[in-house]
Structure 1
Amino acid sequence: MRAPSTGRTTFRRWWLRHLQLLPVIVLAAGALIDYQTSPHFSGEAFYTAAPMTAAALLSLRATILAGLSACAIDFALLTHFGFIGGSGGRSELAAVATVSAFAIVVNRLMYYSKVRLEAARRVSLAVQRAVLPQLPAAIGPLRLAVRYQAAVKDAQIGGDLYSAQDTPYGVRCLVGDVRGKGMEAVKVVDVAMGAFREAAEEESTLAGIAGRMERALQREKARRTGPERTEGFVTGVLVEIPHCGDELRLVNRGHPAPLLLHAGQVRSADPSEPALPLGLADLGADQERTDTLPFPPGATLLLYTDGLTEARNRAGDFYSPGAGLAERDFDGPDALLDTLLAEVSRHADGRITDDMALLAVTRDSACAQERT
């Protein structure tokens, strides 16, 4: 049976492809109605609508062709009914020609606006991707996969971040989300990522890493003025997976709880105590809570940002990744993330309104064979 999302996608493609015929349909309908009805009925509305429709949907050449066709059909029918020599006929033809010329201008304005917007989107995404690392497919006994799906709107970019690196203390991972949008959010991403990369190699505990990130974000916050000082904090989850053993450690700073998948079961790794996001230590006591959880061979840890759980269907229901992944087996982290993205897109009918960063880590064995 064809999946519902596949059927909807096919319908959308069919609709968009046939929508381009709308100017032709409008012209044909106008000519037919104009010819079949009373000579005093004018199809001017159809003749002006056709080039404007083409301006919105088609290329410059097609818009020009639609305008010329509208003028030609109007001229032919005015001649047929004997109105071309009168002032009314000439005024009608002049109106159709004027609107056709205006449609060409509109087409060019829309084109250049689209070009500028697409350029801004490419630059924005390139800037954000520049500060996010390319993760290896495997580190020791761990297989990793990452997906970043942007919900670009008006050329704005979000503040989702992720990282994973091998350190003397184990494989350390980070998934987080900056409060805010645009370039200011990217600045905070850069600060947070830089602090994490350095601290992950030097700090012996996750609490130490969180403390380094906290201080870096506080320094960045002190440079801000006005309303921007209230943004720039980061919700995030820090993970440490030792090179040997069957457990992992987590520090959760106000972020959605990761999921642990093993043997068809899905468990939410909720923090033992809630904590403020990174960058807000001045609002409360800076006490890190590190939770230790089992992570046996065959288990997968799924880290994600709230763009996943805030995806809603037309009824307003949020997507629940735990319910969608229960009682299912996956070949690895890549298969898991591909399935997850397909399911959330199907749930939201393709209307993803927030960025999503997904990081999955699967343990294949209890120990790394060799570390370099």
Structure 2
Amino acid sequence: MRPLISPGLADAWRRVRDQGATRWADRAGGGGVPGWHRPWWEWFRWLPAAVLLAGAVVGFVLPAWISAFPLLAAAPAIAAPLLSLTGTLATGGCALLIGIVEFRLHGREFETAYAVGFTSIVLLTVVAAAINRVAASDRRKLSTARELAEAVQRAVLPEPPPRVGGAAVAARYQAASREAAVGGDFYAIHHTPYGLRILIGDVRGKGLDAVRTVNGLLGAFQAASTHLRDLREVVGRLEERAEGLGADDGGAMSESFATAVVAELDDGLDVLRVANRGHPAPLLVSGGRVRTLAPGAASLPLGLATVGDFGVPVDAYRMPPGATLVLYTDGVTEARDRNGTFYDPVPRLSRPTPPGPDGVLDAIREDLQRHTGGSLRDDVALLAVSRPPPEAPGTAAGEGVVPERLG
């Protein structure tokens, strides 16, 4: 039989699992981030103990004619999806013990009602143990699927080198907490004869179709960045590739698209040009100030040129020494807290952050984890590019400088 997973992908998965799959959780979860707290649903693990306690109160405190057996019998069933097999059996054993103590405490004769009650506890404990095994198997399969999805994503999106074309670079990717499908977030950065070319985007949908679209767009971006001088031509080539991928799906152009930001830094890392195709606006962080690089004109996502062609608007900005360009996907800004409030990275970036792109992204990531309580509903991709600070002694990087939009 033909293997479902290629050896190369399996190796990539093992490397991610053994070396890097838990890096996000270690740094941004329980690995010492101040203010981190457990997700609210983990408190449900105490529910079986609470039911046992309620059963004990009913059996030992309330009048004898009030039976505690309904609560005691329910405890192992409640424990089955929440605890381990040992915890489920222990819950059933405790329920049985409480029932026996209640029976002895009240000094009653062994009646049919007690026989039914004890039998119910034993049978429900056995059934609960079986349910627990099925649930544990499903959890393992889901965990494996999530790890595999992240391995595929990392194989498609290898981490960029720390320096590209004189600029410091960092990237982060995190799969959604509740998803087991490969996401459509992507990014790339290349040093070309025309400067530093940067791409970040998000393909509609998930799964193998999203991976195929991401691969196609990343390949087209690499080729176009190397051979095309004008940034508008690079975006045009990506548009053609997105349309071609949509045609391969049966011509459903309006249902296959990708939002993206295509940016360019000249060789001196002084001038930044940005073409935004319906994507969240990048942020330019400099001297403790944050500027949202909102496009001057609206533009449709890649793959929707047939809906309306508005050209390829390109905005230009001055990038001060020491400034950091932050690009991200909508998984960041669409993340919510328990009250439904969307996350905004600007307030965090307006406060002091560790130096360099890694420090900036870690600050966003930790703040995002605090905001969401550790649960992400959508994949998150982050990319940061920093211009080196000035070498003159005593000069603060970008201090007091507001990034300037060029005409």
The counterpart of 1:256, out of the listed 280, 299, 315, is: 280
Corresponding position of 1:364 = 388
Corresponding position of 1:156 = 181
Corresponding position of 2:26 = none
Query: Is residue 119 from structure 1 mapped to residue 144 from structure 2 by the alignment?
Result: yes
Distance 1:13 1:216 in 2: 42
Corresponding position of 2:368 = 344
Report the Cα offset of residue 125 of structure 1: 1.7
Q: Residue 314 and residue 23 in structure 1: after superposition, are their counterparts in 2 closer, same or farther (change >3 A)?
A: closer
Report the Cα offset of residue 291 of structure 1: 2.4
Q: State which drifts further: 308-317 or 285-294.
A: 308-317
The letter of the residue matching 2:264 is E
Corresponding position of 1:332 = 356
Distance 1:312 1:27 in 2: 35
Q: Residue 342 and residue 102 in structure 1: after superposition, are their counterparts in 2 closer, same or farther (change >3 A)?
A: same
Q: Residue 313 and residue 73 in structure 1: after superposition, are their counterparts in 2 closer, same or farther (change >3 A)?
A: closer
Corresponding position of 2:77 = 52
Corresponding position of 1:187 = 212
Query: Is residue 237 from structure 1 mapped to residue 261 from structure 2 by the alignment?
Result: yes
Report the Cα offset of residue 338 of structure 1: 1.1
Corresponding position of 1:221 = 246
Distance 2:202 2:271 in 1: 25
Report the Cα offset of residue 188 of structure 1: 1.4
> For 1:185-227, what per-residue CA distance to the aligned partner results, in whole angstroms no more than 9, with x for missing partners?
222111111111222112222222212211111111112148x
Give SS of 2:365's match.
helix
Distance 2:244 2:146 in 1: 29
Is the contact made by 2:243 and 2:253 (CA closer than 8 Å) also made in structure 1? no
Is the contact made by 1:54 and 1:63 (CA closer than 8 Å) also made in structure 2? yes
Corresponding position of 1:170 = 195
The counterpart of 1:27, out of the listed 12, 37, 52, is: 52
Map 1:40-79 → 2, pairs under 5 A? 40-78=65-103
Report the Cα offset of residue 347 of structure 1: 3.4
Unaligned runs of 5+ in 1: 368-372
Q: State which drifts further: 338-347 or 102-111.
A: 338-347
Distance 1:204 1:54 in 2: 63
Q: Residue 187 and residue 35 in structure 1: after superposition, are their counterparts in 2 closer, same or farther (change >3 A)?
A: same
> For 1:312-357, what per-residue CA distance to the aligned partner results, in whole angstroms no more than 9, with x for missing partners?
3455443333343236454111111111122233334444322221
Q: Residue 300 and residue 122 in structure 1: after superposition, are their counterparts in 2 closer, same or farther (change >3 A)?
A: same
Is the contact made by 1:248 and 1:294 (CA closer than 8 Å) also made in structure 2? yes
Report the Cα offset of residue 129 of structure 1: 1.8
The letter of the residue matching 1:247 is V
Is the contact made by 1:250 and 1:290 (CA closer than 8 Å) also made in structure 2? yes
Is the contact made by 2:189 and 2:197 (CA closer than 8 Å) also made in structure 1? yes
The counterpart of 2:329, out of the listed 305, 315, 321, is: 305
Corresponding position of 2:18 = none
Report the Cα offset of residue 76 of structure 1: 4.9
Give SS of 2:136's match.
helix
**TM-score, normalised to structure 1's length?**
0.86
The counterpart of 2:161, out of the listed 136, 141, 145, is: 136
Report the Cα offset of residue 74 of structure 1: 2.5
Give the share of equivalent positions with the same residue, in percent. 40
Distance 1:67 1:347 in 2: 38
Corresponding position of 1:294 = 318
The letter of the residue matching 1:238 is V
Unaligned runs of 5+ in 2: 1-32, 392-407
Q: State which drifts further: 172-181 or 48-57.
A: 48-57
Q: Residue 311 and residue 63 in structure 1: after superposition, are their counterparts in 2 closer, same or farther (change >3 A)?
A: closer
Superposition RMSD in Å: 2.8
Distance 2:239 2:373 in 1: 38
Q: Residue 81 and residue 326 in structure 1: after superposition, are their counterparts in 2 closer, same or farther (change >3 A)?
A: closer
Aligned residues: 359
Distance 1:68 1:319 in 2: 46
Is the contact made by 2:348 and 2:363 (CA closer than 8 Å) also made in structure 1? no
Report the Cα offset of residue 101 of structure 1: 1.4
Query: Is residue 147 from structure 1 mapped to residue 172 from structure 2 by the alignment?
Result: yes
Report the Cα offset of residue 179 of structure 1: 1.7
Corresponding position of 1:283 = 307
> For 1:19-50, what per-residue CA distance to the aligned partner results, in whole angstroms no more than 9, with x for missing partners?
65554454354245324444433210232122
Distance 2:243 2:307 in 1: 12
Distance 2:64 2:347 in 1: 66
The letter of the residue matching 2:224 is A
Is the contact made by 1:83 and 1:89 (CA closer than 8 Å) also made in structure 2? no
Is the contact made by 1:254 and 1:275 (CA closer than 8 Å) also made in structure 2? yes
Is the contact made by 1:218 and 1:279 (CA closer than 8 Å) also made in structure 2? yes
Distance 1:133 1:57 in 2: 36
